[in-house]
Structure 1
C-alpha cells in the first residue's frame, strides 16, 4: 500500500482545508518546494499535489508552485489534480514531469474527455471521485451531483485508468478517521485500484486500510495528520512496508 503525503496549494501556499471549505484554510508552508523536499527526505515514494484554486477556477491557478515542487524533487513521482479539464492541459503537465494527472470534475461533466485521456496515457491518469453522502461532488466540491460514486467509478473500469482516488468530503481535514466502509465497498465494486482519501487521523487508520489492501486498495492520501504530527512518518512507512 502506497502512502501519498498531500500538498494542497492555495495562493501559492501549502494549506489544508476542512471539508473542502476554502474559507477554512490552515497555512502550513509558504514554500511548496521545501515541503516537497521534506516529504521526499522522509522517504515517501510519491507526492499528491492539488491545485485548489484551479479546481474552483476550472484551469491551472498555481502553476508556478507546482513547477517549484517538480524542480525540488525530480526523482519523486508526483500526481496532480485541480483544474485539468482538457487534453492540452493534461498533456502539458505530463510533459513537464508530472507522473500522473487526476481528473475530478471532468470525470462527471466531460466523461468523453476523461475516457480519452485515460486511453491516451494508460496508467498516467487517475480519476478523482469526491463524494458527499455517497454522491459525487464537482467544481472544487462546491456542487453535488445526483451520481453515486460507484456508478462513476464503473464507467472507467475498461479505460486504463491508473487509479480511482476516493475522497469522503465530510471527513476530509477533520481527523475523524477514514471512511473504511465506503472505500472498501468501492474497491470491491470495481477492478481499478482505489486510493483512499479523507479523514486519516492516526496509524490505526493505516492499519485498518492495510488489512484490506488486498481487496483493491492501492494506497492512502495523508494530509492534516502529517502536518499536525498525529502520524509519525517513519512509523507509517514502516507499517506499510511490513
Structure 2
C-alpha cells in the first residue's frame, strides 16, 4: 500500500471518528405525559360505557381520569416533556369528558336540561376563545396570563394548587349530582356532602369561565383594532369621496 493510500485511509477513519453520533429523533407521541393522557382518554371512555348502569364503577373510572390530569402535568414539568400536543390533548380531553357528563345529567334531570346546555356552551366557548386569543397574542401557552390583564386568571393559571382545586371540585360536584340521580345512592350521605362542599367552587369555576371569555374577547378586539390601524382603516369609516 502506498503512503498516499495509507494517509487517505487514516484521514477517512479520523473523519468518521470525529463525526458526532446520529441523534435519535424524539417521538412526541410517546412522551410520558402524553402516554398518561392516552390513559385518561381510555378511562374516560370506559366510564361513559358504565355510566347508565353502574354508577360506582363510572364514578371511580371518571375520577381516576381526572386525577391523572394533575399527574401528567407533574411529569411534563419534571421530565421537561411539556409539549403543545400534550396541552391540546389535555384541553380536548377535559372539554369532551365534562360535556359528556353534563349531557347525561341533562337527560337524568330534564327539568334542568337548559342549565346543562348553558354550562356546556360556557365551558366550550370560554376555553376556545381563550386559546384563540392566546395564539393571536403570541403567547407560548394559554396558561401564561399577565396579571395586568386579569388578576383572577393569573392566579387561576399560575398556581397549580388553585387550578387543581377548582377543576377537581368542579368535576366532583357534577359527579355527585350524577350519583344522586340513582335512587339507591340518593339515600347515601356522602354524595350529598360532596355536592354541598364542592358546589361553591363549582360556581366559582363558572365565574372564572365568564371572566376568561370576556378577557379573551377584549384581547381579540384589541388585535383587530391594531390590525385595522396598520391597514389605515381606523377613522376611515364614514369618510366619503367628493
Q: Judge same fold: TM > 0.5, yes or no.
A: no
**TM-score by structure 2 length?**
0.21
Of structures 1 and 2, the larger Rg is shown by 2
- More helix per residue: 1 or 2? 2
- More strand per residue: 1 or 2? 1
